[in-house]
Amino acid sequence: MLQIKRLRLFSRLILPIAMLVLTILFGTAGYMAIESFSFLEALYMTVITISTVGFTEVRPLSESGRIFTIFLILVNLGLFTYFVTLLTRFFSDGEFTKLYKQIKMENSIQQLQQHVIICGFGRNGKESAQILFNNKIPFVVLEEKNELETDLDFDVSYFMKGDATKDEVLLEAGIKNARALITTLPVDADNLFVMLTAKQLNPNVKVISRASQDSSVKKLKIAGADNVIMPDKIGGAHMATLVILPDVVEMLSIMSTQSTDRFRVAEIQSNKNISLGELDMWSKTNCTILGIKNPGNHYTINPDASYQINPGERLIVMGSDEQIEKAKKLL
């Protein structure tokens, strides 16, 4: 698939090269037929004729040979000039460099593992990318624009121009190796199509979809979306909560979106059957357990020491990288 795309990128050179080769073959065959030249003599005569370098003829031409030569020069003078100009532009105007970087990026994307694919780079897509960048999670941006904005506050290491609703584009973005896909397209139907395609290509990928209409939320969840977000609704609730509990909201926002050397929030899956009191995570690791999610998607916030952890449950903990690594070893 990547080979087909690269062939398209080189298509501007393929046509003139093909025409030049056909012209050389035509001229070589003509001189062999009219002047009875050998293949090498006919090829040499064709090349010096279409390039107009003016070297000495292989041998004196007949009247028919001269007419053929005039025809060959007139037909190919423009073609040869066009080919040389196009080739010069391809290398000198940065097209070759741009093409090389694009192919190199595509190869790098194919090597990614457990990355996130962001479909659409509007306001919501940028916010998602910013948080992933802050948390050092690799991500690929899929956008139909030729280039991204240059005034971003973070670096986008992997960018692909393409339509996220197409199978081949998602495959090139590494959907089979991705941990999650975030689709933030403005049309709910497009988000639904992207989600269905992603799940078909990788049933284990987590899909988080944006929705604009209330009626789309249920449809997206039934179709298989793991999470559906309505930015406008969340934004309104967030602003109202800022009036009631401003400091709490800001602190929770920092905890959920930012990682520092001192703390980050992480999920740890349990493989044991043990009570929190027996686990004694705080004294052993200094990690704080914020909540627990069971396989039925039920959350227990601030569980007490008597809570019995079962295999498969996920603990939401806060601590430094070192503390979280210690906590993982306990479970």
CB 288 within 8 A of CB 319: yes
Q: Residues near 247 by Cβ (< 8 Å), separated by ≥ 6?
A: none
Same domain, 143 and 223: yes
On whether both 303 and 217 belong to a single domain, the answer is: no
For residue 248, is it within any domain?
A: no
pLDDT at res. 261:
59
Q: Do 52 and 127 have their domain in common? A: no
| Domain count within the chain | 3
Alpha helices, DSSP H, located in the chain = 2-9, 11-34, 39-50, 63-92, 95-110, 123-134, 167-172, 188-201, 214-223, 231-244, 246-257, 276-279, 281-285, 321-330
For residue 135, the domain's CATH number is: 3.40.50.720
Residue listed under structure tokens 């007949």 = 62
Residue count (the chain): 331
CATH number for the domain harbouring residue 307: 3.30.70.1450
Three-class SS of residue 83?
helix
**Beta-carbon neighbour count of residue 21 at 10 Å?**
10
Claim to verify: residue 58 and residue 145 sit in the same structural domain: no
Pair 136, 211 in one domain: yes
Pair 83, 121 in one domain: no
135 and 212 together in one domain: yes
Q: Which residues contact 307 (CB under 8 A, 6 or more apart)?
A: 275, 276, 292, 300
Same domain, 201 and 146: yes
Residues 23 and 82 in one domain: yes
Instruction: Please answer whether residues 310 and 273 qualify as being in contact, where contact means their C-beta atoms are separated by less than 8 angstroms.
Output: yes
For the stretch 8-62, pLDDT in tens is: 556 666 777 787 788 889 888 988 999 888 898 888 888 888 776 666 777 788 8
State the residue range of the domain holding 275.
263-330
In this prediction, residue 116 has a pLDDT band, given cuts at 50, 70 and 90, of very high
Contact 276, 305 (CB under 8 A): yes
> Which residues are paired to 182 by β-bridges?
118, 208
144 lies in the same domain as 198: yes
Q: Is residue 177 part of a domain?
A: yes
Does residue 70 sit within a domain?
yes
pLDDT tens profile 133-191: 887 888 988 888 767 666 677 777 788 888 888 888 888 888 888 999 999 888 888 88
CATH code where residue 53 lies: 1.10.287.70
Predicted confidence (pLDDT) per residue in 62-90, tens digit = 888 888 888 888 877 777 777 777 777 76
Answer for the pair 202, 176: CB distance below 8 angstroms, yes or no: yes
Residue 104 lies in a domain: no
On whether residue 103 sits in a domain, the answer given is no
